[in-house]
């Protein structure tokens, strides 16, 4: 099965660099620049298998995940991998992780410096 990652970041330079790196290690990549685009893209594109969300955006990663949990939980349930990413772990990231886990949805939290190894492991794991 092809791995298709939706990368969400409002920093266009970081978005482009990560998208290019992921394509370079074998991923199919779609991009969005804020959380409000995510629901539409996940609803209209069934091939997406993983979601990477930045935490420093106008509608940030934790807010996006909570909105999806409330409105479209099935969209989250269809994903193989969900990851919140930041330069440093924030309290709201951990709180959202616990809340989603209570709903049966597991998410990962990673730092921006560890992203490529994290996604490389995902791409090389059979699902």
pLDDT value at 11 more than 80 = yes
Confidence of residue 3 (pLDDT cuts 50, 70, 90): very high
Bridge partner list, 8: 32, 53
Confidence of residue 89 (pLDDT cuts 50, 70, 90): low
pLDDT value at 106 more than 80 = yes
What is the tens place of the pLDDT at every residue in 12-40? 999 999 999 999 999 999 999 999 899 88
What is the tens place of the pLDDT at every residue in 32-84? 999 989 988 998 878 999 999 998 888 889 999 999 999 999 999 999 999 99
Domains in the chain (CATH in brackets) are 4-123 (3.40.50.2300)
Non-local CB neighbours of 46 within 8 Å, separated by 6+ positions: 78
Q: Which residue has the tokens 């193989």?
A: 80
CA dist., res. 87 & res. 56, Å (int) = 9
Is residue 62 within 8 A of residue 92, CB to CB? The reply is yes
Confidence of residue 127 (pLDDT cuts 50, 70, 90): low
Extended beta strands in 50-89, E state: 50-54, 81-86
Q: What is the pTM of this model?
A: 0.91
């Amino acid at each position: 099965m092809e791995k298709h990652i939706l990368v969400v970041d409002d920093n266009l330079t970081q978005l482009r660099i990560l998208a290019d790196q992921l394509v370079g290690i074998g991923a199919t990549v779609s991009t969005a620049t804020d959380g409000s685009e995510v629901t539409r893209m996940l609803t209209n594109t069934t091939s997406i298998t993983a979601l990477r969300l930045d935490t420093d955006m106008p509608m940030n990663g934790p807010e996006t995940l909570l909105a999806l949990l409330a409105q479209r939980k099935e969209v989250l349930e269809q994903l193989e991998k969900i990851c919140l990413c930041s330069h440093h772990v924030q309290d709201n990231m951990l709180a959202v992780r616990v809340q989603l886990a209570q709903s049966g949805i597991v998410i990962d939290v990673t730092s921006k410096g560890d992203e490529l190894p994290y996604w490389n492991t995902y791409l090389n794991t059979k699902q």
